[in-house]
Amino acid sequence: MRISRPFSLIALGAAATLVLGGCAADDTAPAEPTGADAGSLTLYSGREEELVQPLIDQFTDETGIDVEVRYGNTAELGALLLEEGEATPADVFLSQDAGALGALANADLFSTLPNDVAGAVEPGFTSTDGSWVGVTGRARVVVFDGEKYTADELPDTAEAYTGDEWRGLLGIAPSNASFQSAVTAYRVLEGDAAAEEYLTALAANEPQIFDGNGAILSAVDSGVLDAGLLNHYYWYQQAGEVGAENMRAQLKFLEAGDPGSIVNVTGAGLLSGAEENADALDFIDYLVSEAGQTYFVEETYEYPLVDGIDAPEGLPELADLVNPELDLSDLDTLGETQELLARVGLI
Amino acid sequence: MAPSGPGRPRRAPTALLLAAALAAACAGIPFVYLVVRAAGAGAPRVIETLGRGRVLEYAANSLGLAAATTATALVLGTTVAVVLTRVSVPFPRLWLLASSLPLAVPSFIAGYGWIVSVPGINGFAASWLLLSAVTVPYVTLPVAAALRGAAGDLEGVARTLGRSPLSAFFVATWPQVRPAAIAGALLVALYSLSDFGLVSLMRFPTLTWGINAAYSASFDRAQAAILALLLVVLALIVVTGERSARGRLARRPARAVAPREVGRGALLALLPVVAVAPLVGVAVPLLGLLQRLLQAETLRSIDGPRLLAAVGATIGVALAAALVAVLLALPIAVLAARYRGRLVSTIESVGYLGHALPGIVVGLSLVFFSLAVVPALYQTTAVLVFAYVVLFMPKAIGNVRAGLGDVPASLVSVARTLGDSPLRAWLRVTVPLALPSVGIGALLVAIATMKELPATLLLRPTGIETLATELWNRTVAFEYGAAAPYAAVLVLVAAVPAAVLSGIRTTAKEEL
């Protein structure tokens, strides 16, 4: 009876296929027509379910509009939308960073947002052509080991971390979109030559290379890395999980005006096929409404981008951070940044 | 499908060739997609991308890590299998079970658990150690299965003729297990090439970093495709290398033997070797997760129905993927086991390609393919299962091929002499003898499917969650407490097929 186990397994598999086949036949209409009267929309969310779903539920409660959500990471959903093109079942894309929105706008996959939505957010924190709208901001900060340093001991310019005393001690994620946005900002603010000088010095200072912000934070928090560059909100997420008083990692905001202290934005766009879907537009409108913005301030500690709503407590004012009014979604600029990073050997 | 004796090259039947070519065509979809995307970029762009920054360094890292991991898994896996089948150890079944468990731990969980336990761990050595630990069962289990079916008395004969134990092993036993061991090693090599979760946590930049950065920072599918094609080239080198290492084996008649008693000292030396992979690949990571769980403040009541739904979805897609993967792998495996030639080699190589590519690449290729060919099935379970098949079919091809190759042609001849038709001889002799290997292939596909994340995120029907996606949902939001139950259940569910796997023996091939 040696063969009985694989046999029964295969029989089980066959049964499962039949069942699944039946299910598949039931939902073979992926691109549900989402006309203006459908009372529903499909959202591709590059932001986490835990953080976004309560806001979506709140929207549904207030408007009666159903939101079907597909969660994933921003890069993958961006690539997915590019691959789907016009055939996408999505009406709205909610993105962690501007670059992915720029890529979709560049491929003509977004329809232009009306002025009252696109114009709700200040220039510099949103698209220049109304193809998408900024939703929240994350400040670039230095995270450091609170058992080794106090915030006052740390330099408050980005450049100072390329000095000898930081050799081998600083963590960066050069292949990550947030780092690259910061480099783009540096180039725009200080010029290409200065940016190349900064990056050359940074690369020569034996930085610890990570794949993303989360890994830098956990390395600092476990005491194996002295400091690192990341977006502020990662710290608040982790603090929410383990309690702020249990955080070994601490944040240092660089001095006002330093090219290292820029703001990365998250944003949302309306897919071109959803142009006529008023519910989809309502949802984007809701993200930049007082209710939506307040939610992000209170629940995710991000910067609101709409006038008249205060930044989360304990954070510097948005105005104190650099707002170079540059288009962080501009892919040509991004390409130049990547060439620079490749040239200095960081990617 | 009449099997030929070794050494008599013949043309494969057309029906078999067609079936195998069709299966290979399915596996080749990602390749076609990558060529389409890369071709859109033009030759200058391809050259510029390949010559840029650290790309070649990444490629060298990929190859170096795959080589080191494969060599380690081959030696360690074979050693463990020999110890567990040839030496009388206490609780042999339990040790074999423990040796199979690293299969159930997704590599990103292994990496994450280690970082919690040993925060500074990173680099080549760490990636090598962890990847070896989680992949070694791909060698251990098929070899143990073959050894428990095969025989060791030749080794005894060799010893009495004055050979050292090691030399006796190479002369007598190694030829028996070589097809299984090398087929397993190939899976390890391809797995190492395609892994992103572990190397990114261990901060060892390989080509999969480059591919991931192309999607996540450049939003550039052409660049990602060019780098992925470079990965395909590396995979072809590996597959070709495996084919020449596999060689051609003469059957060695032998008789099963009982495990040998050894002294306590020898046991104390051998058992730690057996324990390495379960310790590194399972125990340390799970302790790390437990530690995070204890620190978490988000430990809330578990949403039972949601967890159950994820378990159901995970098991459902895993079983379906295992079945379809085996069906598609079968013609390729039969062809590769029985026939030679350039066409046969090409078909087999293409069958392996999907396994060398990161899930995101295979996922996107099937988005592209299904929207172009069967738009009605897009974002349905059918396409999702198909993606798993493309990704994991090689796990079935290698094992089934090795299993079929083990069926002695003399047995089939005897059946034919006794008056059986070729088909009847095949059904009566080949099928029962090869079936356990088919089972191994199916189980490996099922386990891999349960753990798969990137392609699942891209292709699942909206609203359907597997254990892997539920786990991901929570870890990206730093919700360790809420994530822990999903991690635990995922490892538990995947451990079931792993446990079954550790019990399979490929059939005793005693001479008549």
Rounded to whole angstroms, how far apart are CA atoms B336 and B54? Answer: 38
The answer to whether residue B182 is domain-embedded is yes
Task: Supply the pLDDT for residue B154.
Answer: 65
Neighbours of B290 (CB within 10 A): 14
- Side-chain-side CA neighbours of A167 within 13 Å: the count stands at 3
- Position A167 scores a pLDDT of 96
Which of B458, B462, B482 is facing A76, going by the closest CB pair?
A: B458
pLDDT digits (tens, 9 = 90+) for B254-268: 445 567 778 888 888
Amino acid at position A294, single letter: T
Rounded distance between C-alpha atoms, residue A217 and residue A278, angstroms: 40
Chain B neighbors of A346, CB-CB under 8 A: 53
CA distances from B31 to A82, B243, B325, B357, B366 (A): 19, 21, 18, 9, 11
- Residues 6+ positions from B433 with CB-CB distance below 8 Å: B403, B406, B407, B411, B507, B509
Beta bridge partners of A267: A95, A134
Q: Which of A1, A4, A5, A81 to mutate to test the interface with B (most CBs of B within 10 A)?
A: A5
Task: Report the CATH fold assignment for A138-262+334-343.
Answer: D-Maltodextrin-Binding Protein; domain 2 (3.40.190)
Output the CA torsion sign for B267, B270, B272, B278: negative
pLDDT of residue B473: 84
From the CA of A31, how many Å to the nearest CA of chain B? 9
A46: closest CA of chain B, how far (Å): 11
B441 within a domain of the structure (yes/no): yes
pLDDT at A45: 96
Q: For residue B298, is pLDDT > 80?
A: no
Which of B371, B480, B504 is the closest to A5 by Cβ?
B504
Does residue B443 sit within a domain?
yes
pLDDT at A11: 42
**CA-closest candidate to residue B423, choices B10, B13, B7:** B13
Expressed in angstroms, the distance from the first to the final Cα of chain A is 56
Q: Tell me the pLDDT tens digit for each residue of A191-200.
A: 899 999 999 9
> CA of B437: which chain A residue's CA is closest?
A6
Question: How close A62 comes to chain B (CA, Å)?
Answer: 22
Q: Binning pLDDT at 50, 70 and 90, where does residue B468 land?
A: very high
Q: Kindly determine whether residue A342 and residue B53, on different chains, have CB atoms separated by under 8 Å.
A: yes
Say what percent of chain B tops pLDDT 90. Answer: 54
Which of A191-200, B64-73, B186-195, B405-414 comes out lowest in average pLDDT? Answer: B405-414
Question: CATH 3.40.190.10 residue ranges in chain A?
Answer: 40-137+264-316, 138-262+334-343
Q: Residues A74-129: pLDDT tens digits? A: 988 999 999 999 999 999 999 998 889 999 999 999 999 999 999 999 888 899 89
Chain B positions in Cβ-Cβ contact with residue A301 (cut-off 8 Å): none
Hey, is the C-beta of A18 within 8 angstroms of any chain B C-beta?
no
Inter-chain contact A215–B203, Cβ cutoff 8 Å? yes
CA-nearest residue to B51 within chain A is A342
Instruction: Give the H or E element holding residue B262.
Output: none
Number of separate domains in chain B: 1
Tokens of A264: 């990365």
For the stretch B232-241, pLDDT in tens is: 999 999 998 8
| B203:A211 CB<8 A | yes
Lowest mean pLDDT among A227-231, A233-237, A292-296: A233-237
Question: Is 70 exceeded by the pLDDT of residue A19?
Answer: no
Instruction: Report the 10 Å Cβ neighbour count for A255.
Output: 12
Q: What is the pLDDT of residue B504?
A: 78
CA angle A140, A144, A148 (to 5 degrees): 165
Q: Side-chain half-sphere of B197: how many Cα atoms within 13 Å?
A: 23
Q: What is the CATH number of the domain that holds B100?
A: 1.10.3720.10
Question: Are A17 and B215 within 8 A, CB to CB?
Answer: no
Does residue B8 form part of some domain? no
* Residue whose pair of structure tokens reads 């696109």 in the numeric block: A118
Closest chain B residue to A178, measured at CA: B217
Q: What is the mean pLDDT of residues B322-346?
A: 93
Q: Is residue B7 part of a domain?
A: no
CA-to-CA separations, B15 to B20, B336, B340, B396, in angstroms, rounded: 9, 14, 16, 21
Statement: residue A30 has pLDDT above 50? no
The parent domain of residue B199 ranges over 14-252+263-503
CA dist., res. B67 & res. B505, Å (int): 28
A87 touches chain B (CB under 8 A): yes
Q: How far apart are CA A100 and CA A103, in angstroms?
A: 5
Please give the Cα distance from B508 to B505 (Å, whole number).
8
Q: Do A68 and B379 touch (CB under 8 A)?
A: no
Q: Which of A262, A285, A213, A237 is nearest to A41 (CA)?
A: A285
Helix (H, G, I), strand (E, B) or coil at B507: coil
- Taking CB atoms and an 8 Å limit, are A87 and B478 in contact across chains? no
Distance from CA of B313 to the nearest CA of A (A): 9
CB pair distance less than 8 Å for A212 and B200: yes
pLDDT tens profile B110-131: 998 898 888 889 999 999 999 9
Give the residue carrying structure tokens 């301030």: A297
- Measured CA to CA, the distance from residue B205 to residue A146 in angstroms comes to 29
Instruction: Name the residue of chain A whose CA is nearest to B504's CA.
Output: A2
pLDDT score of B36: 94
Count Cβ–Cβ pairs < 8 Å, chain A vs chain B: 213
**CA dist., res. A232 & res. A251, Å (int):** 7
A238–B54: do the CB atoms touch at under 8 Å?
no
* Cross-chain Cβ contact A74/B216 below 8 Å: yes
The predicted pLDDT at position A60 comes to 96
pLDDT digits (tens, 9 = 90+) for A51-78: 899 999 999 999 999 999 999 989 889 9
Q: Which residues of chain A neighbour B52 with C-beta distances below 8 Å?
A: 342
Confidence of residue B506 (pLDDT cuts 50, 70, 90): low
CA A131 from chain centre, in angstroms, equals: 17
Q: Name the minimum distance, in Å, from the CA of A238 to any CA of chain B.
A: 6
In our burial notation (b when 16+ CB lie closer than 10 A, e otherwise), range B195-219 reads bbbbbbbbbbbbbbbbbbbbbbbbb
Q: Do B219 and A12 touch (CB under 8 A)?
A: no
Q: What is the mean pLDDT of chain A?
A: 86
Q: Would you give the DSSP letter of residue B506?
A: P
Question: In whole angstroms, how far apart are CA A115 and each of A125, A128, A136?
Answer: 15, 12, 18
Instruction: At B492, list the tokens.
Output: 């538990």
- Residue B250: predicted pLDDT: 47
What are the C-alpha distances in Å from B92 to residues A198, B74, B83, B229, B232?
60, 21, 10, 44, 40
Q: Is the pLDDT of residue A32 over 80?
A: no
Mutation target to probe the A interface, by most A beta carbons within 10 A, among B198, B216, B406, B465 is B216
Which of A18, A19, A27 to mutate to test binding with chain B, by most B CBs within 10 Å of its CB? A27
Interchain contact A163–B (C-beta under 8 A): no
- List the single residue in A6, A103, A237 with the smallest CB-CB distance to B439: A6
- A20 CB neighbours in chain B (<8 A) are 316-317, 320, 381-382, 385
Estimate the share of chain B in helix, then strand, then coil, as percent rounded to the nearest 5: 80, 0, 20
**CB distance B457–A82 less than 8 Å?**
no
The CB density around residue A209, as the number of other CB atoms within 10 Å, is 19
What span, in angstroms and rounded, lies between the C-alpha atoms of B176 and B249? 9
Report the candidate in B326, B318, B328 with the shortest Cα–Cα distance to residue B448: B318
3-state secondary structure chain A: CCCHHHHHHHHHHHHHHHHHHHHHHHCCCCCCCCCCCCCEEEEEECCCHHHHHHHHHHHHHHHCCEEEEEECCHHHHHHHHHHHHHHCCCCEEEECCHHHHHHHHHCCCEECCCHHHHCCECCCCCCCCCCCEEEEEEEEEEEEECCCCCHHHCCCCCHHHHCHHHCCCEEECCCCHHHHHHHHHHHHHHCHHHHHHHHHHHHHCCCEECCCHHHHHHHHHCCCCCEEEEECHHHHHHHHHHCHHHCCEEEECCCCCCCCCEEEEEEEEEEHHHCCCHHHHHHHHHHCCHHHHHHHHHHHCCEECECCCCCCCCCCCHHHCECCCCCCCCHHHHHHHHHHHHHCCCC
Asked if residue B239 is part of any domain, the answer here is yes
| Inter-chain touch B119–A222, beta carbons under 8 Å | yes
Alpha-carbon gap: B331 to the closest alpha carbon of chain A (Å): 17
Weakest mean pLDDT among A18-22, A313-317, B20-24: A18-22
Interface of A with B in 112-141 (CB under 8 A): none
Taking the Cβ of residue A75 and every Cβ of chain B, the question of whether any pair is shorter than 8 Å is answered with yes
Is A17 in contact with B323 (Cβ distance < 8 A)?
Answer: yes
pLDDT (0 to 100) of residue B318 = 97
What average pLDDT does the segment A251-270 reach? Answer: 90
Instruction: Say yes or no for a CB contact (<8 Å) between B500 and A83.
Output: no
The torsion angle over the Cα atoms of residues A284, A290, A292 and A295, rounded to 10 degrees, is 170
Nearest to A68 among B371, B381, B462 (CB): B462
* CB atoms B203 and A82 under 8 Å: no
Percent of chain B scoring above 70 in pLDDT:
91
Which of B295, B435, B463 is opposite residue A68, by nearest beta carbon? B463
Predicted confidence at residue B424, as pLDDT, reads: 86
CATH superfamily label, A40-137+264-316: Periplasmic binding protein-like II (3.40.190.10)
Distance in Å, alpha carbon of B370 to nearest chain A alpha carbon:
10
Place of tokens 């142009």: A275
* Residue A313 in this model has a pLDDT that exceeds 60: yes
How far is Cα of residue A143 from the mean position of the Cα atoms in its chain? 18
Helix (H) or strand (E) holding B215: helix B207-216
Is B75 inside any structural domain? Answer: yes
Kindly tell me the burial class for residue A119, based on how many C-beta atoms sit within 10 Å of its own C-beta (0-12, 13-18, 19 or more).
middle
Q: Between A322 and A165, where is the model more confident?
A: A165
Contact A227, A169 (CB under 8 A): yes
**CB distance A76–B507 less than 8 Å?**
no
Residue B123 region, left (φ>0) first, then alpha (ψ -120 to 50), else beta? left
Which of 320-339 (A) contact B at CB < 8 A?
Answer: 331, 334-335, 338
Contact (CB<8Å) A16/B457: no
Q: Which residues of A touch B298 (CB under 8 A)?
A: 241
CA gap B44, B49 in Å, rounded: 9
Q: Quick one: which of B243, B69, B77 has its CA closest to B146? A: B77
pLDDT reported for residue A325? 64
Query: Given an 8 Å threshold on Cβ–Cβ distance, is A83 in contact with B368?
Result: yes
Structure tokens at A335: 């390409």
In a domain, B412, yes or no: yes
pLDDT reading at A295 higher than 90: yes
Give residue for tokens 């290292």: A260
